[in-house]
């Protein structure tokens, strides 16, 4: 019988780095909203006019389905500063992120893990692939809240052929993450409001 230990959520160092990143994001948004209010609003209007809601949805989907270090957080900022209704932004970004997680799972299942990445994981984290295979939904729950590319987690879980129904349910954690960033951005922007 294989020993599968419970996954580690966060080390103290990782939790500290995550918290520091959230505080830094909040401070930067406050500074932007106060010091560059008019240029930020004008730039945001251009982005929103160019992309529209379909473009916002597509951009968030692409960012979350491609295993690359990209972020959709600035898109929330631009959409809100571009005068799109906050509820609309939240619904579009959350939906795109959840669906991207599901698509990432199927892409991982279809293509598998690149050999180089798989050997790196096996070397650096021995036994973790077995844990992911056994507890893929937990990996998505944890990875979905971490400041790492979501696609890395969903592709890996797909390649490990975790049962889809658990993956779909776990992808809903992205609504919480979007809510956290959304709240931070709304709070930061309120500092620069007239």
Residue 153 and residue 169: Cα distance in Å, rounded? 14
Average pLDDT over residues 152-171: 85
Tally Cβ neighbours within 10 Å of residue 67.
Answer: 20
Task: Write the pLDDT tens digit of every residue in 10-62.
Answer: 566 766 776 676 667 667 666 666 666 677 677 667 777 887 888 889 989 99
pTM of the model: 0.73
Percent of the chain with pLDDT over 90: 17
Contacts of 182 (CB under 8 A, 6+ apart): 76, 86, 89, 90, 93
Predicted pLDDT of residue 168: 84
**Which residue in the block uniquely carries the two structure tokens 């409001």?**
193
| CA angle at 123 for the pair 120 and 127, rounded to the nearest 5° | 110
């Amino acid at each position: 019988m294989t020993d599968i230990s419970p996954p580690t959520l966060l080390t103290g160092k990782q939790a500290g780095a995550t918290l520091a990143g959230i505080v830094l994001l909040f401070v930067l948004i406050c500074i932007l909203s106060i010091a560059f209010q008019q240029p930020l609003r004008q730039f945001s209007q251009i982005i929103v006019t160019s992309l529209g809601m379909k473009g916002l949805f597509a951009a968030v989907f692409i960012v979350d389905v491609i295993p690359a270090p990209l972020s959709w957080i600035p898109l929330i900022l631009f959409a809100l500063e571009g005068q799109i209704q906050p509820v609309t932004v939240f619904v579009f970004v959350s939906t795109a992120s959840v669906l991207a997680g599901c698509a990432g799972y199927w892409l991982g299942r279809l293509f598998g893990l690149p050999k180089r990445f798989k050997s790196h994981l096996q070397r650096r984290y021995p036994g973790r692939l077995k844990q992911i295979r056994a507890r893929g939904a937990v990996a998505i729950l944890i990875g979905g809240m971490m400041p790492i590319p979501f696609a890395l987690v969903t592709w890996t879980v797909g390649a490990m052929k975790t049962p889809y129904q658990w993956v779909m349910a776990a992808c809903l954690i992205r609504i919480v993450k979007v809510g956290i960033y959304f709240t931070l951005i709304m709070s930061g922007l309120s500092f620069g409001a007239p």
